[in-house]
Structure 1
């Protein structure tokens, strides 16, 4: 069936709650309001305020409470209202959620899902358009994933909730209202695997979350000029599944990594390094990065200049093909 990403996430959460009474949802305005983006709409009405809980405006307290809940056998799903609001909870996430399994020598599991709407493109004010994924992906003990379309959103949220490891679930907020086909019977793949979403032969374009659609649009534009780009959706940011990426780059000889986050020490740097290590003798050109800039997210009227665009991606394609 066809549905928006918001509806797909809502349906996935509903399925997880119906199938496992230990699953609960908590966060600011997730109950009566249904969340700022309405991802949790209707869940409190159907499951009660004991399983869908409105919390105080206290991100550190929300995550700390979720940690305690896991000790009682529960599986909390937390909503951080906006990406820029996660920083008050950063201590709890990296000091407790990420470490307790290791610290307890495997005796304690942390089946916590931390949902974070992330990225720009919606004309929001400060603290509402950040891309903090690298800060969590480099933290040992955390799993980090990002969906890019409604089908993956529907299945990945359920797979994340079923995981016994803590998962930071990054949701591209500017793609929330875009509709797509969702197969509610069969999942495309596991939670931790990357996917080729458009085959090609001339260069490999690697992206995740909100940038996947932009890269697909770029590939369509390039195809009109006879250039076939292969687009790979990483899906899992930690652990990275670079098998399909390496195989693709060995065929195309060229690689471009695209993300909204800042360039310096972003995920693109790690991916470029790993691809260079694995594909050194296959590369026809240096790996290119198309990213946000190394500055705070700008006011909404300037975000079009900040975010990677179709033109910037095609410029990178020209650069790798010039060698």
Structure 2
């Protein structure tokens, strides 16, 4: 086992996949500057900086994927994805279907999201649900350093376009990563803490907050199960339903705003498929439906916090019946 940062885990995944498959290349905003080791090993034909032109970058990637390459592009901050929607959603996301399966579009789009760097609304916006809603795309949002590496390797190998969201605050956070080949399948959630009283479902760095809340609940005698979704599309419904049928209570947590968010989808799935198991109403704790502030204190106030998660879980445990 090695201890490396998230940025290094991503770099390892890229290097290993580029060695494994000569069709893999990476380009985007600052890629060659930030990944000088990749540039030195693979050269400017496979590692390139680009202008700040997100639509052109994504369009070039969709074209490269259609011609048999496997591009990994970096568009930096998630709000800039709005400038590349046509190439990602209408081309890469749909053309495999429109071709009757004759073509593949294996491209990975890296984008940074999440509060904590006080970069303001222009650079911080959690857009993951928008891409979950788009046919033909897969969406990944890791929590652990090991998953950043393992899920990126799976995303690069996948024959479909994958949105890979990286929380901007954890890039330099170290964590354990297995030595050698380490691949994590897309579409499999992880149960990070087993419990019997309430299920906490989250993804990205909010998982850390849920684990802290579970520690608080344990001191109150409440046994919380914590699930890291890891992949938002395809979503691991089986793991969620199995947990809720055991605990009878569900609390979904994410930084993104509530309307039409991933939490709403998780709540709908449980309501449709495990309603009889519920002992209390489903709860969501999310970020506000507002642009991100550029003040660190205001950012923290807008984020789901462990104390609030623990309070909501205690309320769920105290509500033994679902209102009619």
- If the length of structure 2 is used for normalisation, what is the TM-score? 0.95
Q: d(CA) in 2 for partners of 1:223 and 1:249?
A: 18
Distance verdict in 2 for CA 1:273–1:260, change over 3 Å: same
Q: Which residue of 1 aligns with 2:304?
A: 308
Shift of 1:299: 2.2
Q: d(CA) in 2 for partners of 1:60 and 1:112?
A: 14
- Deviations, residues 119-176 of structure 1 (Å, cap 9, x unaligned): 1112223322211000000101001111111111111111100111111111122122
Verify: 1:175 aligned to 2:170, yes or no. yes
Q: d(CA) in 1 for partners of 2:198 and 2:300?
A: 25
Q: d(CA) in 2 for partners of 1:273 and 1:46?
A: 47
Secondary structure of the residue aligned to 1:281 is helix
Q: d(CA) in 1 for partners of 2:121 and 2:267?
A: 30
Q: Which residue of 1 aligns with 2:24?
A: 23
* Structure 1: stretches of 5+ with no match in the other structure: 35-39
- Deviations, residues 232-275 of structure 1 (Å, cap 9, x unaligned): 01111011111111011111110000000001111111110111
Secondary structure of the residue aligned to 1:105 is coil
Q: d(CA) in 2 for partners of 1:148 and 1:6?
A: 13
Asked if the contact 1:149–1:175 (Cα under 8 Å) also holds between the matched residues in 2, the reply is no
Q: Which residue of 1 aligns with 2:268?
A: 273
* Structure 2: stretches of 5+ with no match in the other structure: 320-324
Shift of 1:218: 1.1
Verify: 1:144 aligned to 2:127, yes or no. no
Q: Which residue of 1 aligns with 2:46?
A: 51
Q: d(CA) in 1 for partners of 2:215 and 2:247?
A: 17
Distance verdict in 2 for CA 1:127–1:254, change over 3 Å: same
Shift of 1:300: 2.5
Shift of 1:188: 7.0
Secondary structure of the residue aligned to 2:212 is helix
Q: d(CA) in 2 for partners of 1:246 and 1:143?
A: 21
Q: Which residue of 2 aligns with 1:134?
A: 129
Asked if the contact 2:153–2:183 (Cα under 8 Å) also holds between the matched residues in 1, the reply is no
Secondary structure of the residue aligned to 2:276 is coil
Q: Which of these residues, 83, 91, 102, is aligned with residue 86 of structure 2?
A: 91
Q: What is the aligned length?
A: 317
Shift of 1:308: 0.7
Shift of 1:71: 2.7
